[in-house]
Amino acid sequence: MRIDIITCVPAIFNGMVDQSILKRAGDKGLAQIHIHDLRDYAVNKHNQIDDYAFGGGAGMVLMIEPIDKCIANLKSERSYDEVIYMSPDGEQLSQGMANELSLNKNIIMLCGHYKGVDERVREHLITREISIGDYVLTGGELAAAVVADSIVRLLPGVMNDETSALTDSFQDDLIAPPVYTRPAQYNNWSVPEVLTSGHQAKIEEWRFNQQVKRTKEKRPDLLKNKESKD
């Protein structure tokens, strides 16, 4: 998989793509993350990429021309499954969406900034808009990093234990069960006996019951989603 991220502040990604899961995926040749500085496609010698909004109002708007040039340049080299705009009013990221996006081969992610982008970008160049929550960030860079991580970790071969991602929270509209490690006794706090029993069927039953219990307590809305799907 290849993910191209377009941003006007590329330094934000320093370190992000060279750590943890994203680095592992790159080292294994399973995913490539490329960061593109929008100012490389600026419209004049002053590296201008933003301007005032027509009609007035506070804040600057990212111009269509640099964005169009950057996307066109990328598309001249390969085809893309999605051109995603990170926006607070986009479709909210979910585990199901991450699963879906992980099946793609090439993705472009455009990071908004200031008051956003010229609306014509959204009308003519974007195939999908994604939000990571109902709040506003200074720019779309952190959101793009979240989406990239959520996708790449699902690629076959990235994680040492490929079943790990399948048991994460939200994979089946349920929160993950509690987990424990050694020592089994600490400060008189004990690990549930079933987990040290060696009886795998009982362990799996306990884990599922814990998932349902936790979801009812913490995220009952997920159970409603699950019921509507069933």
Q: Which residues is 62 bridged to in the sheet?
A: 50, 117
Read off the pLDDT band of 166 (50, 70, 90): low
Nearest to 34 by CA among 83, 64, 1: 1
CA 211 to chain centre: 23
**For position 159, what pLDDT does the model report?**
87
- Say if residue 78 is in the same domain as residue 105: yes
Assess whether 56 and 95 both reside in one domain: yes
Check whether residue 71 and residue 105 sit in a common domain. yes
In this structure, are 189 and 109 located in the same domain? no
Report, as an integer, the average pLDDT of 34-56: 94
pLDDT beyond 80 at 160: no
CA distances from 175 to 133, 154, 163, 171 (A): 18, 17, 16, 8
In a domain, 158, yes or no: no
User: How large is the average pLDDT for residues 52-69?
Assistant: 94
Asked which of 100, 124, 152 is the last residue of a domain, the reply is 152
Q: Please provide the average confidence, as pLDDT, over all residues in the chain.
A: 92
What is the predicted pLDDT for the residue at 224? 79
Q: What was the pLDDT predicted at 36?
A: 98
- As a whole number, mean pLDDT of residues 193-222 equals 95
- Inter-residue contact 148 to 108 (CB < 8 Å): no
Rounded mean pLDDT of 10-18? 90
The CATH number that applies at residue 197 is: 1.10.1270.20
Q: Which of 152, 185, 204 is the last residue of a domain?
A: 152
Structural domain total, the chain: 2
> Using CB atoms within 10 A of its CB, is residue 141 exposed (0-12), middle (13-18) or buried (19+)?
buried
User: pTM (2 decimals)?
Assistant: 0.88
Which of 35, 107, 37, 38 lies closest to 66, judged by CA? Answer: 38
pLDDT bucket at 1, cuts 50 / 70 / 90: very high
Q: What is the domain-level CATH number for residue 56? A: 3.40.1280.10
Give mean pLDDT, residues 32-37: 97
Residue 81 is predicted with a pLDDT of 98
What is the pLDDT at residue 170?
Answer: 67
Within 29-188, strands assigned E span: 32-37, 50-52, 60-62, 82-92, 106-111, 128-131, 185-186
Average pLDDT over residues 118-141: 96
The verdict on 131 and 175 lying in the same domain is: no
